[in-house]
Amino acid sequence: MTDPALASLADFANMVGVDPNTLNAGSVNFALAVASDAVRSYCNWPISYRSADAVQLNGYGMPKLFLPTRLLLTVRSVQLDFTPLQPVVWDGTTAGQYGYQVNRGGWLTRAPMWIWPEGEQRITVVFDHGYWTDTMDGSAPAGVPTIPMNVVGVTCSVAARMLDNPESVRSRRVGEEAEMYDGAALTAIQLSPGDMAALKSVYHAPGPY
């Protein structure tokens, strides 16, 4: 699956304060795509909206099962081995009391007295998650929030550094003058400490899943 860029050409133009028609659209869109991959790699989840995303997860004998997301919108199905599970329903019967409860932060909790049993890829979850971006086709489905501006800003900043200094050089001599690059210790697509701090709200600690 190819995920869309986390920021658009118009977002980039707004950040650098220029008319978008003056930009080389191909270069900027490529830089935004690369920057988006860098942000996703750091945050450990796609961030942009995915519908019916299917993952196979390991069980660790714990009540909570963490999904690779920080914004869980809808759980479509959960299957343990070959058994479908249902959300917990406290209706006086036992039918729904063996299932799970959903937390929007990105995890499923088994019903009281139950755990997710140990084993690799025993659990299959199909779910909707993530934010809508301006780079997606159409309009956002009901209940899907737009991407936070801090994510858009970091993506544009990383793309701008890439375009300004694609070779990741620390300095360049022009005639008798030596030009030092701001943030020269970074590679062209590396996130700075400030970028990482700005992404705190969408950062997802890495596995295990």
With respect to residue 3, please indicate whether it lies within any of the assigned structural domains.
no
With respect to residue 140, please indicate whether it lies within any of the assigned structural domains.
no
With respect to residue 88, please indicate whether it lies within any of the assigned structural domains.
yes
pTM, rounded to two decimals:
0.85
User: 124 and 54 share a domain?
Assistant: yes
Question: Any residues with CB less than 8 A from the CB of 95 and at least 6 apart, and which?
Answer: 86, 89
- Number of structural domains found in the chain: 2
pLDDT tens-digit series, residues 39-70: 999 999 999 999 999 999 999 999 999 999 99
Q: 151 forms bridges with which residues in the sheet?
A: none
| Domain limit, last residue, from 129, 163, 193 | 129
Can you give the residue range of the structural domain that contains 95?
Answer: 50-129
Give the separation between CA 35 and CA 29, rounded to whole angstroms.
10
CA angle (142, 133, 104) in 5-degree steps = 55
Nearest to 58 by CA among 68, 73, 45: 68
Which three-class secondary structure state does DSSP give residue 27? helix
User: 54 and 123 share a domain?
Assistant: yes
pLDDT tens-digit series, residues 158-209: 999 999 875 544 455 455 565 555 544 455 678 999 999 999 999 998 877 6
Asked whether 72 and 103 are in contact (CB, 8 A), the reply is: yes
